[in-house]
Chains A and B, each alone.
Chain A
Amino acid sequence: MSVAAIATNPTAEFRAGGTDFSERRRSGVSQATPIDILESGDKTITWDADGAVQIGALTTIATIATDARTAAAYPGIAASAQGLATPQVRHVATLGGNLAQRSRCWYFRRADIDCLKKGGATCPARSGNHLYGVVFDLAECVAPHPSTMAAALLAYDARITTDRRRGLTIADLLGDGSIVRSDHALTEGEMIKSIALPAPLEGERASYKRAISRTYAEWPLVELCARVVIADGKFQLVRLAAGGVAPVPLRLTAVEAELSGKIANAPSIAEAAKLSGSGAKPLPMTVYKLDLLQGLVRDVLERLSS
Chain B
Amino acid sequence: MTATTINERPLALPDDPDALLIDVIRGAGLTGTKLVCGSGVCGACTVLLDGTPVVSCLLPARAAAGKSLTTIEGVGAAGLHPVQKAFMAHDALQCGFCTPGFVVEAAAFHDSWRATKGTATPSREEIAAALSGHLCRCGAYEGISRAVADACSGRFDGVDPIAPRLEARDKVTGLARFTVDIHHDGQLEGVILRSHVPHAEITGLDLAPARAMAGVAAVVPLLDDDNMVRFVGAPIAAVAAKDRGTALKAIAAITFKAEPLPAVIGLDAARRGDAPVVFEKKDRKRAGNVSEGAGGAPVSWKGNVRGPSAPFSQKAKQAKGWLDEARQQRNPLLVEETFRVSTQQHASLEPHAAVARFDGDQLTLHISTQAIHESMEKIAKRFGLPHNKVRVIADHVGGGFGSKGSVGLETIAAIELARAAKAPVRVVFDREEELSVTGYRPAAELKLSLLPSEDGRLKALSLTAHADTGAAVNSLIAGLARLIYPAEAKELVDFDVLSNLPPGAPFRGPGGPPMSFALEQAVDEAALRMKIDPIHLRKRWDPDPNRQRLYDWAAGLDVWKSRMPAASQNGRFRRGVGVATGYWLYLWQTGSSVELAVQGGRLVASCAVQDIGTGTRSVIANTVAKAFDLEPHDVDVRIGRSNLPPGPGSGGSRVTASVVPPTLLAIEKLKAEIKRTASRAPAPGSNAPWREMIAAAPDIAVSARRQEDGKPPPGARPALHEAGIMGRVFGWVLRLMNHMVVGAGVPSSVQVMEVEVDTWLGHVRVLNAYTGLAVGKLAAPTLARSQAAGAVIQGIGYALYETRETDPWSGHILSGSMDDYRIPGIADMPKLEVHFDEAGFEHVPGGSVGIGEVATVPTSPAIANAIRDALGMRLTEIPFRPDRLLAALKGRDAA
* A interface residues with partner B (beta carbon < 8 Å): 15, 17-19, 22-23, 25-28, 33-34, 36, 38, 62, 85-89, 91-92, 104, 106-107, 109-110, 112-113, 124, 127-129, 131, 211-219, 221, 284-288, 291-292, 294-296, 298-299
Contact = CB atoms under 8 A, between A and B. Distances in A.
A213 B881 contact: yes
B24 interface: no
Nearest to B47: A88
B801 A213 contact: yes
Given A106-B820, A107-B814, A217-B133, 6 more contacts: A22-B59, A85-B40, A211-B882, A215-B765, A215-B827, A286-B895
A107 B881 CA distance: 21
Given A36-B17, A104-B819, A214-B827, A298 B805 contact: no
Interface in B1-41: 17-18, 20, 38-41
Given A36-B60, A87-B105, A213-B800, A27 B53 contact: no
Contacts of B128: 215-216
B890 A291 contact: yes
B383 interface: no
B130 interface: yes
Contacts of A296: 760-761
Contact of A87 (B130, B809, B824): B130
B762 A292 contact: yes
A88 B133 contact: yes
B63 A18 contact: yes
A23 B53 contact: no
B807 A107 contact: yes
A213 B763 contact: yes
Majority secondary structure, A binding face: loop
B883 A131 contact: yes
A211 B759 CA distance: 12
B882 A288 contact: yes
B52 A91 contact: yes
B582 to A, nearest CB: 24
B806 interface: yes
B432 interface: yes
B886 A292 contact: yes
6 contacts: A36-B62, A91-B52, A92-B58, A110-B814, A212-B882, A221-B883
A92 B63 contact: yes
Given A18-B63, A292-B882, A23 B17 contact: no
Contacts of A23: 38-40, 58
B895 A284 contact: yes
A68 to B, nearest CB: 14
B808 interface: yes
Contact of A299 (B18, B760, B815, B827): B760
A106 B18 CA distance: 23
B548 interface: no
B762 A88 contact: no
Contacts of B133: 85-89, 216-217
B805 A106 contact: yes
A86 B43 contact: yes
Nearest to B232: A112
Given A288-B882, A292-B762, A25 B18 contact: yes
Given A92-B59, A292-B761, A22 B20 contact: yes
Most chain A CB inside 10 Å of its own CB: which residue of B43, B132, B134, B822: B132
B479 interface: no
Most chain A CB inside 10 Å of its own CB: which residue of B41, B55, B819, B895: B55
Contacts of A88: 40, 43, 46, 53-55, 105, 133
B196 interface: yes
Listed from nearest, the 8 A-B pairs whose CB atoms lie closest are: A86-B133, A295-B760, A216-B132, A215-B827, A288-B883, A285-B895, A106-B814, A22-B58
B816 interface: yes
Contacts of A292: 761-762, 882, 886
Interface of B: 17-18, 20, 38-41, 43, 46, 49, 52-55, 57-60, 62-63, 105, 128-130, 132-134, 196, 248, 432, 758, 760-763, 765, 800-801, 805-810, 812, 814-817, 819-820, 822, 824-825, 827-828, 879, 881-883, 886-887, 889-890, 892, 894-895
Contacts of A131: 805, 883, 895
B322 to A, nearest CB: 40
Contact of B822 (A17, A62, A127, A214): A214
Most chain B CB inside 10 Å of its own CB: which residue of A212, A215, A296: A215
B196 A112 contact: yes
Most chain B CB inside 10 Å of its own CB: which residue of A221, A291, A294: A291
A109 to B, nearest CB: 7
B55 A291 contact: no
Contacts of B38: 23, 26-27
A130 B620 CA distance: 50
Contacts of B60: 15, 18, 22, 34, 36
Given A23-B40, A33-B17, A127 B59 contact: no
A15 B58 CA distance: 11
B816 A213 contact: no
Contacts of A25: 18
Contacts of A113: 807, 810, 812
A17 B758 CA distance: 36
A107 B806 CA distance: 10
Given A18-B59, A91-B54, A129-B808, A214 B825 contact: yes
B55 A34 contact: no
Contacts of A19: 40, 55, 58-59
A27 B430 CA distance: 9
Contacts of B800: 213-214
A219 B39 CA distance: 12
Nearest to B813: A110
Given A86-B43, A86-B132, A211-B882, A128 B808 contact: yes
A141 B846 CA distance: 62
Given A92-B59, A214-B824, A299-B761, A221 B39 contact: no
B807 A291 contact: no
A28 B132 CA distance: 28
Contacts of B58: 17-19, 22-23, 89, 92
A37 B814 CA distance: 32
Contacts of A129: 805-808, 814
Contact of A287 (B39, B59, B892): B892
A288 B887 CA distance: 7
Given A86-B40, A129-B805, A106 B55 contact: no
Contacts of B892: 287
A25 to B, nearest CB: 7
A34 B58 CA distance: 13
A145 B895 CA distance: 22
Contact of B812 (A38, A110, A286): A110
Contacts of B817: 106, 109
Contacts of B762: 211, 288, 291-292, 295
A298 B758 CA distance: 13
Contacts of B49: 91-92
A131 to B, nearest CB: 7
Nearest to A22: B58
Contacts of B882: 211-213, 221, 288, 292
